[in-house]
């Protein structure tokens, strides 16, 4: 049986938990082909890298897996900064968290209303990466 895999140009994984990063990278291999997967320990590193790519006309990530709770710059602060950039690219952001605080889900919902990108909410641990997490909705067609 041949499984159709779509290629994603660039993926950012922004999470300070090495186990989560390892799991996401492993699951990604089974659903997509991507030669440019970048790992960041906090939102500041990821934002700086994204800004540098934007300024030098390099590929902006198609998909970002973004942890909510991280040191230096958390996921919410990263989103605040990202929204201010004038990016034309279509980005899918998967907010990931181990938090069970309903306020986090509410905050995500508020961000979803003002964010120009697709914003998904996923609880840790992540057991599966869906095609929609990567913007591959037409994968089954």
Q: What is the pLDDT of residues 96-141, one digit of tens each?
A: 988 888 888 888 888 888 888 889 988 888 888 887 888 875 434 3
Q: What is the pLDDT of residues 9-47, one digit of tens each?
A: 899 999 999 999 999 999 998 888 888 999 999 999 999
Q: How many domains does the chain have?
A: 1
Residues 58, 31 contacting (CB under 8 angstroms): no
Residue 140 within any structural domain of the chain: no
Residue 28 within any structural domain of the chain: yes
Write out the residue range of the structural domain in which residue 40 sits. Answer: 11-135
Residues 97, 65 contacting (CB under 8 angstroms): no
Check which CATH number belongs to the domain holding 125 and give it.
3.40.50.2300
Q: What is the pLDDT of residues 65-99, one digit of tens each?
A: 999 999 999 999 999 999 988 888 889 999 998 88
pLDDT of residue 7: 77
Residues 7, 33 contacting (CB under 8 angstroms): yes
Residue 5 within any structural domain of the chain: no
Q: Which two tokens stand for residue 63?
A: 């998909």
Kindly tell me if the per-residue pLDDT of 2 is higher than 70. Answer: no
Burial 12-33, CB ≥16 within 10 A → b, else e: bbbbbbeebbebbeebbeebbe
Its pTM stands at 0.89
């Amino acid at each position: 049986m041949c499984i159709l895999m779509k290629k994603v140009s660039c993926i950012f994984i922004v999470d300070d938990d090495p186990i989560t990063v390892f799991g996401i990278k492993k699951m990604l291999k089974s659903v997509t082909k991507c030669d440019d997967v970048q790992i960041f320990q906090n939102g500041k590193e990821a934002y700086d890298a994204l800004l540098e790519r934007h300024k030098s006309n390099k590929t902006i990530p198609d998909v970002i897996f973004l942890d909510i709770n991280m040191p230096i710059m958390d996921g919410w602060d990263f989103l605040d900064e990202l929204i201010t950039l004038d990016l034309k690219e279509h980005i899918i952001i998967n907010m990931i968290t181990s938090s069970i605080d309903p306020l986090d889900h509410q905050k995500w919902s508020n961000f979803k209303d003002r964010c120009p990108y697709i914003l998904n909410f996923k609880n840790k641990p992540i057991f599966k990466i869906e095609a929609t997490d990567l913007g591959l909705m037409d994968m089954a067609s």
